[in-house]
Amino acid sequence: MSEHLTPVIIVGARGRMGRVLIREVTQSEDYVLTGAVDRSGGPGRGMDAGRVAGTVDIGVTVSDELRPRRAVVVDFSLPSATIDNIRRCVEASVPLVLGTTGICDKTRAALSEAAKTIPIVSDANFSVGISLLTRLAGLAARALGQSWDAELLEIHHKHKRDAPSGTALRLGKAVAKATDRKLADVLCTERSGSAGEPRKDGEIGIVALRGGDSVGEHTLMFLADGERIELTHRATDRAIFARGALRAARWVESRKPGLYSMADVLGLAELR
């Protein structure tokens, strides 16, 4: 057992990720759950967080208001909740680990502003494998250059609200950046119609499939005449995101204010 337990408050506690996070915290010897928050209404309010997560009672009740104190807030809820959660973390001077995806530009700006005051780790994908894949995507794109066509296929469960996934966009950005492009200028998310134009040079395509219970799959392809490279990551258990987010929570606890990513947590930012 560690000498120091990282206190954690989970926001979105009743959700798919929230419940996994609660289970991971309670099974670990490095963390202690000091709060669990979900929106008002719906089942589970006032219930013990352990019971909500399908384990034993742990003496933490799910509340409908985030009032952080001396803990790291781990937020996997909804984009509409993010701005308010950021504000509450700043007011209480507590670090934030933000996993919620699909946040808008206004929220992104609020995140950057808040990072002047508190340390924040924000990442569209907290898996160690995806963090490495992102770095590999940039390295491959830089080595291959723009003449290799980059196309990305992602698959997620049918409940996912945003498309393409935050991870797919991040991989696309890594490829674009490594080859001196801006993803927004070259992104293509739809190809249909028989009278359509052929693929434009320099385009980066992303296709999103939704269905079943897929935790998340990303395949980045680099295609050239006569050969193709495929880099694939398949998540089969959402516990990988929870473990990564908790690793980030422990790391961010002692950081200076700033906006960090999982690459910083893992030290991948230095990999050239």
Catalytic center residues: 156, 160
Q: Which stretch binds ligand NAD (CB under 6 A): 11-19, 25-33, 104-112, 192-200?
A: 11-19
Please, which residue, 120 or 144, has the CB nearer to ligand NAD?
A: 120
- Pull the structure tokens for residue 50: 């352990």
Size of the site for ligand NAD (CB under 6 A): 25
- Pick from 24, 38, 149, 154 the residue near ligand NAD by CB under 6 A: 38
Alpha-carbon gap, residue 125 to 36, rounded angstroms? 21
- With beta carbons less than 8 A apart as the criterion, state whether 167 and 216 touch: yes
- Pick from 5, 16, 51, 129 the residue near ligand NAD by CB under 6 A: 16
Please, which residue, 81 or 96, has the CB nearer to ligand NAD?
A: 81
Residue 78 is a binding residue for ligand NAD (CB under 6 A)? yes
- Pull the structure tokens for residue 264: 């910083």
User: Within positions 234 to 253, which residues make up the interface with ligand NAD, using CB under 6 A?
Assistant: 238, 241
Closest approach of ligand NAD to the CB of residue 149, in Å: 28
Whole-angstrom CA distances from 233 to 2, 16, 127, 152, 249 are 32, 21, 10, 12, 24
- Pick from 33, 36, 74, 81 the residue near ligand NAD by CB under 6 A: 81
Whole-angstrom CA distances from 199 to 22, 171, 205, 236 are 46, 20, 9, 33
Residue 124 is a binding residue for ligand NAD (CB under 6 A)? yes
Q: Which stretch binds ligand NAD (CB under 6 A): 14-22, 86-94, 177-185, 203-211?
A: 14-22
- Pick from 28, 107, 125, 134 the residue near ligand NAD by CB under 6 A: 125
Give the strands of the sheet with 31-37, arranged side by side. Answer: 62-63, 31-37, 6-11, 72-75, 96-98, 119-122, 258-260
Range list of β-strands (E), the chain: 6-11, 31-37, 62-63, 72-75, 96-98, 119-122, 149-156, 187-188, 204-210, 216-224, 227-235, 258-260
User: Within positions 186 to 215, which residues make up the interface with ligand NAD, using CB under 6 A?
Assistant: none
Q: Which stretch binds ligand NAD (CB under 6 A): 23-31, 98-106, 196-204, 220-228?
A: 98-106
- Which among 245, 201, 211 is positioned nearest to 101, based on CA atoms? 245
Q: Is 259 strand, coil or helix?
A: strand
Residue 154 is a binding residue for ligand NAD (CB under 6 A)? no
- With beta carbons less than 8 A apart as the criterion, state whether 220 and 171 touch: yes
Please, which residue, 148 or 241, has the CB nearer to ligand NAD?
A: 241
- With beta carbons less than 8 A apart as the criterion, state whether 268 and 132 touch: yes
270 DSSP assignment:
G
Q: Which stretch binds ligand NAD (CB under 6 A): 49-57, 74-82, 176-184, 200-208?
A: 74-82
Report the interface residues with ligand NAD, using CB under 6 A: 11-12, 14-18, 37-39, 42, 76-78, 81, 99-102, 123-126, 238, 241
